[in-house]
Amino acid sequence: MQLKQQRGQLIILSGPSGAGKGTVCQAAMAHSSSLKISISATTRAPRGEEKDGVEYFFLDEAEFEKKIEEGAFLEYAKVHDHYYGTPKAHVLQMLDEGMNVILEIDVQGAAQIKEKLGFGILIFIAPPSIEVLKERLVNRQTDSDAQIQLRMKNAMSELKQATQYDYVIVNNTVDQAVADLEAIIRAEQCRSQNNLEIIEEMLM
């Protein structure tokens, strides 16, 4: 008898700018074919060789606002005159297919999504120290001193929210952070409530 495929895990990932969320996500996906990052929808125009359904789902403003009214987004925001949102149906479809889905969301959006869906693993990616965080931001060489100071101020506010998360991964090195992420996903997959259907099938 073939057992039913286990539903994927929803991983809601947050952390301050410079903590290395994006790097950890990309490295983790390179390790596992069952790990996917959710594609956001946006009203901004494609850049360069960006393709619809690959980097983003590109919608015009009327389409996006219609989907807001329909409740089609897990969360959305308007940034620099463009909408960005997480399509609910796309995420749920990947979970039903057994994929583990990462949503890289800010601390406000993370709480909203878990409350709306009633499930999800909240993981906070933290730097090993404030000094290392500032060093990483400076080494990017993409932000002005004023922008770096603003990001540092925002980071202090975001760090205060880490206690609201299920797990905290301190990103000393990317390899260790990925190993920690994979260990969390494996542990969550082994939770009793995630395997009750398998047990019940064996008892039938």
Binding residues for ATP: 15-22
Task: Give the separation between CA 84 and CA 78, rounded to whole angstroms.
Answer: 6
Task: Give binding residues as ranges.
Answer: 15-22
Which residues are 82's β-sheet partners? 79
State phi, psi for 23 to the nearest 5 degrees: -65, -45
Strand order in the sheet with 121-126: 35-37, 100-104, 10-14, 121-126, 167-170
> Among 108, 118, 105, 120, which Cα is nearest to 37's?
105
3-state SS, 54-92, equals CCEEECCHHHHHHHHHCCCEEEEEEECCEEEEEEHHHHH
Task: Give the separation between CA 155 and CA 195, rounded to whole angstroms.
Answer: 37
Chain centre distance of CA 9: 11
